[in-house]
Structures are given as C-alpha cells and as structure tokens.
Structure 1
Amino acid sequence: MEGHLYEQLYKHILHEIKEGQLKAGDRVSSEKELAERFGVSRITSKKALEKLAEAGVIKRIQGKGSFVADGIRGGLEHKRHSEEITNLESDEKERPLIGFIISNFSDEFGLQLLRSIEKQSTEHKYDLIIKRTRGSRDEEERAIQLFVRLGIKGLIVTPIHGQHYNAELLRLVLDKFPVVFVDRYLKGIPVCSVYTDNKKAAQDLTIHLIGRGHDKIAFLSPPEENTSTLEERLLGYTLAFTQEGLKLNQDYCLTNLKGTLPMNLDGTAIDSDKETIQRFLEQYPDVKAFVASEFLVATMLAQVIDSLGKSLDEYEIVCFDSLNDYLGKPIFTHIQQDERRMGEEAVDLLVSQLFGEAVPEQRIIEHRIIIK
C-alpha cells in the first residue's frame, strides 16, 4: 500500500462511510492505528486524514482524535466524495518539487544514493530535481537559488568539501526551510543530517589491518579540514591505534591528496598525487598496509605500486566504497555504506519536516565491512 500512499487510505475510509461501517460521529482510526493496520508510514496516514478533514469528511479534534462529520451519508454525499477523489487525483498530476544537490556521484558512491532518493521521492508523490555542483561553492549557491526560484518545498544536499558553511545554506536553515544533509554534517549548524558513522568505520578498517599483523599503517586522504566525513575517518584511524595500544606515527598520515576532489578530476592533480604517493613509498618502504579514505585514492595507490614494479600481494589496502572486479568480487577490503537506506531516510525526514514534524539532528546509518 505504501506505493499508493494516502490516496488508498483516503478511498478506504470513504468506502467505510459509504457502506455504513462508519457513521456520523464515529471515531476514525488514528494515524498510528492506520499506519500499523495498513503497513504504511505515519506520514502517509497523517496526510490521508488531513485530506479527509480538508474535504469536510472528518473533523479532527485536538487531543481526542478524528470523527466522521455530521451529515455524511450515501447518495448525493457519495457523489461529492467521488468528485473529491477525482480532484485529488488531478492534483497529483502537479506534484510538489524537492531538490537534491550533490557535489559528485560515481559507481562506487553516490549513484545508488541518487537512485534511492529519486525512488523514495516518487513513493511520497514528490518530483525530484537534481544538480551536481562538481565541488564548486559558486555552483552550490547558484543551485540553491535556482531551486528556491523554482518553488521547491524542501532540499536534500551533500555539502561540498572544505567549507565551514555555505551562506545560502545557512540562510535556508535560519529561515527554517526544510533541509536534510546527507553523507555529512556541518558543525554548529542545527540541521537534520543522515550519514555513516565514519569514525567507527575507519576504526573498523584500521583494527582489521592490525588484526592482520600490521603495526605500520598509513592513512591516505584528501585534505580533511572542515569536511566532517574525512575528519572522522582520520579520527577513527588514529583512535584504532590507541585502542590497540600501538604508537601512531604522524608521518604515516598523508592527507594532501587533491586529485579525487570533484573540482580536480581533470587528471593534472591525480598525476601530482601519484608522485606524492611514490615519494612516500620510497621514503617508508616498511609500510605495507594502507587505509584509504576513498576508493579512488586506493586505486591510485595500487597503480603507483604496480608502476614501481612491485607486487600488490606485498601490500594490504583497505578503503571506503570499493567496486567489484569482473568476477563480482570486491577489489579491496572496504566499508560498504548503505546508500539505499541513507536515501530513504533523507527523503522520509524531509517529508516529515514538510508536515511540520520534529526530526532528529542526526540519523546514523549502519555500515558493513566487506572482506576481500
């Protein structure tokens, strides 16, 4: 029933009234009862009751519930209800808009998130418009301004790397416009955010390598400043050493790789990163284990190792969001983020805001570690 959302509930309650199962003054099931009875969300049942109240079919009394309105009978009334259903379905042809702004997406991360957000938006009868900013702050601001002009009702956004906040985003938040951040959060901004526990995930990866007998483990990442996802991955890596009673060598933290950032995917920065990684491997030949904050960083590392004529079997590389090889097996041991759940939760929490409901500031989505 969730796929049809509130129209099905709307029609079902009208049918009960028409058949005399519900009479004037009778109490109608509550949002919670309807949700449990039909296996739908509270958002769905609430909207169905609100539409019935708008049509004059029921009266909602604060603190008491919903009741069938006086004078609701068959015949002429049923005709009016049928017309109301027709109008309702006609209204659905012009669905409200919600926006999704993402810095970049790829097969390893972002594409499944996008699919999930689009699917869940459709389930809730919203049309989704999408803008990819490629890591540009100006593009992000322009996208927000454009979406607002187009009349979006709410916004899901993955903020770009390396910023405290975007002025346009902050303005929306201060205006209490419905916003959900996905895949990261911005410190000090009270916005509902849906993301993986990146600290715990990086800790899990590092402890996996320690458990494999490694004590010299490097961490490779783009600059982590002001990007919660990368900051927490670095923190998780460092905490793993403390937890396991090992000494962390700060020289093994290589966090100046910029080639995988969306604004730098032209190849020039990647070549520079590969040179940086090569110098690191030559300077620290005893380091044989690596935690890469991103799949593309892991692949760069593997390419450099191969270019030096070394065997990849000598090294162990773990990362976030790995792809599979042509046999369907994971290329690297990695953290698999649940993009489908992240997308569903982001849309559900946005729709809850649209209905005036309070939502949590943080929604942590469970991750899995996939062993190569």
Structure 2
Amino acid sequence: MSQAPKRVPMYIQLKNYILDQMNKGIWKPGDKLPSENELAEQFQVSRITVKNAMADIVEQGLIYRIQGRGSFIADDASEQRIAYEQPETGRSFVAFLMPRLNNLFTANLASGIEEELAHHGYHLVFRLTHDSQPLENKILKELTRLGVKGIIIYPVEGETFNDEILKLTLGHFPLVIVDRYLRGLDTNCVSSDNYTGAYEATKHLTGLGHTKISFISTAVTGTTSIEDRLHGYERALSDAGLYIDYRLRLSLNTDNPVEQVKAYLADNPDVQAIVATNATIGQIAKKAADCLKIRVPDQLSIVCFDNYEQSDLFDVPLTYVNQNEKAMGKEAAKLVLSLIQDPAQDRRNVVLPTKLVIRSSTVSASSADPLTSSAASGTQAQ
C-alpha cells in the first residue's frame, strides 16, 4: 500500500506564497505586504500561522517590520548580507556617523569612541551626515559595501529613522545608536538618562522658587532624547505642584534662533527661568536676554544640557547637565566591539547617569529682579 504524501504545513505554504510573489516581482523592494489579518482571511488560517510564516522570512532578512506601520519587502537584502560577509576588507575599521562636529559634546563623544577603539587595535572611520537623512542612508550603504566591521551612529533628528538602520539591525550587523534610542525599533544603544537629567535641572529651578520655567529645544517629536527631556521637565513641574503651561514651551525652527528667542521673551515677560536642551540653545537664550537687557541670573535663570568650550571665561557660566559624553563614546565603542565578536547577542540599552553642575546662571526667585520692565524696554529699543 503506497504511503499518502506528507501534508505541507500551512505556514510553509504561506511562506512559499510570499516568496513566490517576491521572486516574480509582484511584490517589489519597499512594497508594503498585506497585514496579518488580511493574509489570515485570504488563506483562512489563524494569525499565529501568518506570524510563523512571516517570522521565517524576517529572519532571512527579506522583509522587515516597522511597529505601527506593517511589514515591507527589504531593499537589496541579499546584497546587504554579501556586504557583511567581507571580513577581510575592513578587518580593523569601525565607522562613526554623526550629524555635525560643532561643539564640545560631539568632540568629546568622538574622542571617547576613538580612544576605546584604538585601545583594542581598531581604527575609526569618521563621517558627517550634515543633518540629512538621505545622506545618512547613502553613507551607511557605502560603509557596509566597504566592509567596516561595525558602525556607531548618532542619528539625524526626525520623526522617522532611515531604512538602512532598520535593515542593518534586523540583519544583526554590529550597529550601535548613541545619544538616543529609536522608538519602535529594538536596537543596541548608548545614551544618557535624559529624563532624570531634565528632571533634576527643572527641580533645581523649582527649588529656587521659580514657577514660570520655559523649555526651549529643537523639534521635539521623533527625537527620543529631547522627548525624554521634555517628560522629565514636565514631571518636575508636576511634582512641584506647578501647572504645565504649553505656552512656556518653545521649539526653535528658524535660521535666526536668537531673534526667535528674543521675540519669545518679549512676548512672555513673566518667564523666570529656562531649561535649554543643549549648550548651543543655552547660549542662544543668554544672547537673546543680553540683547533685551535682561540680566542673567538676576532677572532670568538658565540651565542647559552640556558644557561648552571655555565656558569659565564667559561672564556668566551656565549651570548645566553633564552627560559625560566621553564615557558615552567609550561605552558605545565597547558595545560595538562586543557585537563584532557576537553579532547575535541580545540587544542592549546602556543608560548612563547625568550630573547637574551648578554655576552662576541660576539664583533664587526671591533675590531676582522683576523681568517685565527690562523685556518691555528691550523690545522698544529694537
């Protein structure tokens, strides 16, 4: 008696169907696949069956998932695997990508990475992305083709992350994100405790008796480090029993941020203190105040994230949140070297503590002079 043919499990049938659609070019790179519910209904199977089929294809690097958006066909997935399988080309090189190198924070971060890599016999390939996500994407592709052993990236700010980061992560390429994490994507990352840093900065100001505390940043949405700082600021206000006034938030979005802050301070003369999300914004706020003849700290207290070059030589060194960016760079380098040895290890999120460094830009509200008259006269003098 002949044996009945073995029945092919449904998840394998579904997997073969998806691969067939891709091979025939019906579903092309970048195309969004039908949802799990749609595939389950089309093939009259459970969502578990669909999940099993999709998981196999994701594991092969042929499709990728974005939380809240769905599954997509990978772009040149096979080429990417080949690029990574060229160990001899970039035997001792690790790349570091960052948007710009224009302040003490980024310089110290790069220095920490380079020192740790050099200690282990690796060389640093440094590239600037100039705040351009398309350029960031292009450079990542170039580096993987060159065969670098690992990549550390300080991502461009924005609401989305580029596809190349996603594909490298899903393909277990030794990739480490610094300064922030990417929401919706499980990556290896090293960052500061931005929430606590902002909380302590704001708590310092509320402890001095300030109640009208402004939060000044670049665009918040999509950049987790800034989002976490905003949440820390808001929590500190709430813990102090203060109302969260959205009028006190300012997002810099012009080519002349000093003028934007000047206009903001003139329109909001009740502002007593500022939390700035980086040293550049802190200095912009100080310059805007000077232009309006608002005295820091007598009439306006300022706290920023990060120190800045030769800050002790300024007339009023700003109180700041120290992120210890050099240590952040060293930790990022250690993590990428660990991933080079074992790319399939569990992903890690390293969070480093911050420290508030109190200097002369903050004083108690009781000893501060009223701001209103200065802001008004400064506006009239323009």
Normalised by the length of structure 1, the TM-score is 0.69
- Structure 2 CA distance, aligned partners of 1:367 and 1:310? 29
Match of 2:219 among 218, 223, 236: 223
- Structure 1 CA distance, aligned partners of 2:314 and 2:120? 34
Alignment correspondent of 2:274: 290
Letter paired with 1:274 = V
Match of 1:134 among 114, 123, 130: 130
Alignment correspondent of 1:32: none
1:370–1:329 distance in 2 versus 1, CA, 3 Å: farther
Letter paired with 2:303 = V
- Structure 2 CA distance, aligned partners of 1:202 and 1:211? 14
Q: Secondary structure at the match of 1:177?
A: coil
Letter paired with 1:301 = A
Instruction: Indicate if the aligned counterparts of 2:262 and 2:291 stay in contact, CA closer than 8 A.
Output: no
Alignment correspondent of 1:305: 289
Unaligned runs of 5+ in 2: 1-87, 360-382
Cα shift readout 1:11-70 (whole Å, capped 9, x = no counterpart): xxxxxxxxxxxxxxxxxxxxxxxxxxxxxxxxxxxxxxxxxxxxxxxxxxxxxxxxxxxx
Alignment correspondent of 1:112: 108
Match of 2:150 among 154, 162, 165: 154
Q: Does 1:210 align with 2:206?
A: yes
Q: Secondary structure at the match of 1:109?
A: helix
Alignment correspondent of 2:305: 320
Percent of residue pairs bearing the same amino acid type: 32
Q: What is the 5 A alignment of 1:142-181?
A: 142-181=138-177
Match of 1:341 among 311, 323, 327: 327
Cα shift readout 1:207-228 (whole Å, capped 9, x = no counterpart): 0000111011011111111001
Q: Secondary structure at the match of 2:104?
A: coil
Instruction: Indicate if the aligned counterparts of 2:91 and 2:148 stay in contact, CA closer than 8 A.
Output: no
Q: Secondary structure at the match of 1:314?
A: coil
Unaligned runs of 5+ in 1: 1-91, 260-268
- Structure 2 CA distance, aligned partners of 1:359 and 1:122? 25
1:227–1:208 distance in 2 versus 1, CA, 3 Å: same
Letter paired with 1:318 = V
How far apart are 1:274 and its partner, in Å? 2.5
Q: What is the 5 A alignment of 1:1-372?
A: 95-255=91-251, 257-258=252-253, 269=255, 271=256, 273-312=257-296, 313-323=298-308, 324-327=310-313, 331-356=317-342, 358-372=345-359
Normalised by the length of structure 2, the TM-score is 0.67
- Structure 2 CA distance, aligned partners of 1:178 and 1:100? 12
Q: Secondary structure at the match of 2:105?
A: coil
Equivalent pairs counted in the alignment come to 270
Cα shift readout 1:277-334 (whole Å, capped 9, x = no counterpart): 2222122212120101111111111111111223223110000012243549982101
How far apart are 1:276 and its partner, in Å? 2.4
- Structure 2 CA distance, aligned partners of 1:329 and 1:370? 17
Instruction: Indicate if the aligned counterparts of 2:294 and 2:300 stay in contact, CA closer than 8 A.
Output: no
- Structure 2 CA distance, aligned partners of 1:244 and 1:108? 32
- Structure 2 CA distance, aligned partners of 1:362 and 1:275? 38
Letter paired with 1:120 = E
